[in-house]
Structure 1
């Protein structure tokens, strides 16, 4: 299987870097890092798997330059440098380049940190008193601990709304210095690039919606972008060998006409700022949706909520104004979509985020013409997991987060496998068995594949779920899998196989409540 000449696979020069293709993994919060924010085995295996799949440029999302309470990577001390060096070495083995997205959260990190430590110290004193039999001191210290912790959370909540306006110039200077110091550590670790996170604190300062300051960092457009440009200059001075990219958040418009996102800039200001960034020496600009609403669905919208690649029109405007490469991101789900963006000259680099979670081999498959497993934009394993403080995953990719231990392994000789049921579970079982080298036949009693996925795709905005079934319709014939529709598996069929996988699915459940058997009550199956 060979693919026609691919624009996605053309190399591109970005500042001091030569990227082997135009496929980028944008910054995503994964939850794979160790508790101290360093890069452990799970993170290492995940990012190396992306590099092995052919991605040319990988950005590690939300790397904090200070020791925050946020569950994100951190490069705040020299002690963490070796783990980031191991990460750089791992992806470099496969010809990929790696960047750290440096950000600072919108709160007084040292202030909140001192309060949390105070709460922990009081709790420790309480336990010591209890061990000594001093119940009165135990109760008093526990009450003190709980009160301090309550105050810490109250300050955090307050700061998330007001820190952008209340932070002193001295605090902003300290944050800028911390970001620069982290960039210097990244250079020591062999990291290739820094991406400035133009949202969060930096984006809040840029935003006419959020920034109400009256000093040199507030008011006019020039004042609001001043800090961002200072951060860029500080990074370039501290880590002169690194490529510097800027994630440029744009406040887009919802279908109902309301602003989408609060941090960042409106489209016209984005275009003006892009020219200033190029003048400041930025090597690459990623045009992305602004966030800062507390709703991750703004930047990572679920299926049907926003058009595909909805920020592309602004990226195209930016590309016409600057000479540095421009990346686009957001609901690019197919190889064909990425190729068209490049063919049209609307952007230079395609950031596949959730799509690479779903299929890390997009680059390899673009070269061979093998169909990719396209993301559903369901947000179930990725966005839902992060919002619930779990590590990120994909409902269609069993590897995510366990790349070090889960992979398709060679089979055990020539065997015939019967798969009973052509729903999503049976189809994935058939694919994996065929990849392992087995002779596979799928038996499906109905006249179509998909099982309950067909039901799930029926409601409004849910038709994109059918991409999961369409993938198997494309991939299984090339793997030699035989599909028998309108064929309920018989004992003879199963006895002719060396093994059977039964994936006949579930049935709708009638809830045992009075009236459930009424003619007015129907199930989703009935509908």
Structure 2
């Protein structure tokens, strides 16, 4: 296709950006850790190459000690961190890239139990997602903070950052001052709209004075807080004009606070689902405006750039560091698209883990998982075309090995081919498309509808056989279980489902199945599990939204029970608390009670024949479906062949 605006340059003060894409701020969970410094720098350096994003923004860098968001933050107040930042900017510039520092203060979102310093905020109001109430900032505290922001701006410029971004969105400190929900002050820093804008504008003024007139200053502005009784739409538009009047160069529009109960960046949110607020702000100001949130497609980005000045794509660069290079080369089908699953990025960040990517586990590991031809080229046979096998085939082929893949069914994709039938998981189509393209590009031989015997595999004299044979649904021991149907039968459309549906199993698969049935028609859905909570195993940043949607559609849930019998009319259970038996009527009972490893015993003979064997994905460890671990293991055995365990397969953290 012909790009209209994506690769048009834009000037920001003395800085020229070669394209209209910003890699938005992402906390990597490795900042401030000396032994992870190489990993952090390699992450940014790889994305800074030719046809990388016009500008990258770091994860938040704290302007003062109490402003850290938790573990692993860089701080402008630490000399050692300044040396790290200087090394970072030097590496990015060496690759031809441009990078901005985000000036950050968490406010009441700081984790005082991790930092050891009490959190602070405009008013002593506890966030619903935190345990402790913050300390109210005094007048002197506020003045000191303004100087901290100014000093951070000065230092950012000194260590080589090309610009700074003031974090005034997502419910952090500056946003807390602006919102009447969190600012209950009665002095000059709170109360009326004018007074609530005073601190944010004072920060902007202090930073501008510190960095000078020739240096770009971006303001990350909250377009919608999505929390009750917060800043109004009219106030947001008025504030945007005030930010412009106070000498900001770019407005980067953020959406939603972390405590919001409205999904903003998960897969269930439509692409560019909140872009209208950025368009509204663009109508009010003359300075450039950046649109963000769920923009993962360069074609969509180019369309949005007909009305906006830039777009922010953060997680898409986790999924594919070469997204723009592939776009410029018209190789769109080679892009590893972000599917907004959050499982290895945001979920990891909120758990204090290093950030990576479900569809690209190499993210965050670029320093050690290097794309270069292997010294010794091997013949690799991969059994199973689910995502574990696909990634094993792709990674080995990328390193120059000869790879043959066998898939017993008529198509690659495995469990993803079921998941992509679920309305909120249509993004999984992109991953299957990506692997289809990659295997063809890399010359992997793909044999469909074929389950090879041990003898056939041995005839090829392979150096390594990868067993990625996946899982089969677990059939629980319940009287009359033959009357039930399995979740693959339902998702594939092989069986019809009646109006009243009981789902045995309320983990991730049960929740997905409920979403599928909701979309298909008017069903009365009851999810059951012997014990535990609904949705256990789902990611922290997506679970609440998925369960909220199920409840909104009338899905019911019960736990603490025993299954007695599946009958023609439904299911007999015993309540574990009361001991009372109960018959629940249902037209269809669906089994979604986990999986078992699908590892044919005949392949044990491969090891006996002296062939190196790697067992990965669900074949190694069934449990709840875990695409993150499966893809990670597929990549790891290619980049770290010494990690392969043939005789004993231990659980390896992803």
- TM-score > 0.5, shorter chain as reference: yes
Question: Is the aligned partner of 1:186 residue 2:156?
Answer: yes
Question: Is the aligned partner of 1:355 residue 2:316?
Answer: yes
Indicate which of 267, 271, 277 corresponds to 1:303. 267
TM-score by length of 1: 0.81
Indicate which of 41, 48, 55 corresponds to 2:38. 41
Question: Is the aligned partner of 1:495 residue 2:469?
Answer: no
CA drift of 1:411 comes to 3.6
Indicate which of 472, 487, 491 corresponds to 1:508. 472
Q: Give the secondary-structure state (helix, strand or coil) at the position aligned to 2:481.
A: coil
Distance 1:214 1:39 in 2: 45
Distance 2:36 2:394 in 1: 32
The equivalent residue for 1:464 is: 427
The equivalent residue for 2:146 is: 176
The equivalent residue for 1:25 is: 23
Determine if contact 1:335/1:366 at 8 Å carries over to the other structure.
Answer: yes
The equivalent residue for 1:196 is: 166
Distance 2:363 2:194 in 1: 43
Distance 2:37 2:416 in 1: 36
Structure 1 residues 500 and 263, CA gap change in structure 2 (3 angstroms): farther
Indicate which of 191, 211, 214 corresponds to 2:183. 211
Distance 1:484 1:116 in 2: 57
Deviates more, 1:330-339 or 1:205-214: 205-214
Distance 1:108 1:294 in 2: 13
Distance 1:157 1:104 in 2: 15
Determine if contact 1:283/1:324 at 8 Å carries over to the other structure.
Answer: yes
Distance 1:521 1:383 in 2: 37
The equivalent residue for 2:242 is: 276
Distance 1:267 1:287 in 2: 13
The equivalent residue for 2:327 is: 366
Question: Is the aligned partner of 1:50 residue 2:38?
Answer: no
| CA offsets 1:141-177 (integer angstroms, 9 cap, x no match) | xxxxxxxxxxx69999965449789322221111111
Structure 1 residues 329 and 155, CA gap change in structure 2 (3 angstroms): closer
Distance 1:114 1:26 in 2: 26
Question: Is the aligned partner of 1:86 residue 2:74?
Answer: no
Distance 2:198 2:431 in 1: 46
The equivalent residue for 1:251 is: 224
CA drift of 1:359 comes to 0.6
The equivalent residue for 1:475 is: 438
Distance 1:185 1:367 in 2: 35
The structure with the greater share of residues assigned to helix is 1
Distance 1:267 1:19 in 2: 31
Indicate which of 252, 267, 275 corresponds to 2:233. 267
Indicate which of 369, 384, 390 corresponds to 1:427. 390
Determine if contact 1:249/1:263 at 8 Å carries over to the other structure.
Answer: no
Q: Give the secondary-structure state (helix, strand or coil) at the position aligned to 1:378.
A: coil
Question: Is the aligned partner of 1:401 residue 2:364?
Answer: yes
CA drift of 1:49 comes to 1.9
The equivalent residue for 2:203 is: 231
Distance 1:27 1:484 in 2: 42
| CA offsets 1:459-484 (integer angstroms, 9 cap, x no match) | 45223223211212233323333333
CA drift of 1:375 comes to 0.8
Distance 1:40 1:411 in 2: 26
Distance 2:2 2:485 in 1: 50
Structure of higher RCO (CA pairs closer than 8 Å, 6+ residues apart): 1
Distance 1:328 1:400 in 2: 24
Deviates more, 1:264-273 or 1:153-162: 153-162
Structure 1 residues 155 and 116, CA gap change in structure 2 (3 angstroms): farther
Q: Give the secondary-structure state (helix, strand or coil) at the position aligned to 1:235.
A: helix
Q: Give the secondary-structure state (helix, strand or coil) at the position aligned to 2:240.
A: helix
Distance 1:83 1:114 in 2: 22
Q: Give the secondary-structure state (helix, strand or coil) at the position aligned to 1:483.
A: strand
CA drift of 1:56 comes to 2.3
Determine if contact 1:12/1:21 at 8 Å carries over to the other structure.
Answer: yes
CA drift of 1:62 comes to 1.7
Determine if contact 2:217/2:248 at 8 Å carries over to the other structure.
Answer: yes
Determine if contact 2:290/2:308 at 8 Å carries over to the other structure.
Answer: yes
Distance 1:453 1:219 in 2: 51
Structure 1 residues 157 and 13, CA gap change in structure 2 (3 angstroms): closer
CA drift of 1:108 comes to 11
Gap regions ≥5 residues in structure 1:
118-151, 253-259
Distance 2:89 2:14 in 1: 16
Q: How many residues align?
A: 476
Structure 1 residues 50 and 155, CA gap change in structure 2 (3 angstroms): closer
Question: Is the aligned partner of 1:166 residue 2:136?
Answer: yes
Structure 1 residues 339 and 160, CA gap change in structure 2 (3 angstroms): same
Structure 1 residues 263 and 194, CA gap change in structure 2 (3 angstroms): farther
Determine if contact 1:418/1:494 at 8 Å carries over to the other structure.
Answer: no
Determine if contact 2:119/2:135 at 8 Å carries over to the other structure.
Answer: no
TM-score by length of 2: 0.67
Indicate which of 335, 340, 345 corresponds to 2:303. 340
Structure 1 residues 262 and 401, CA gap change in structure 2 (3 angstroms): farther
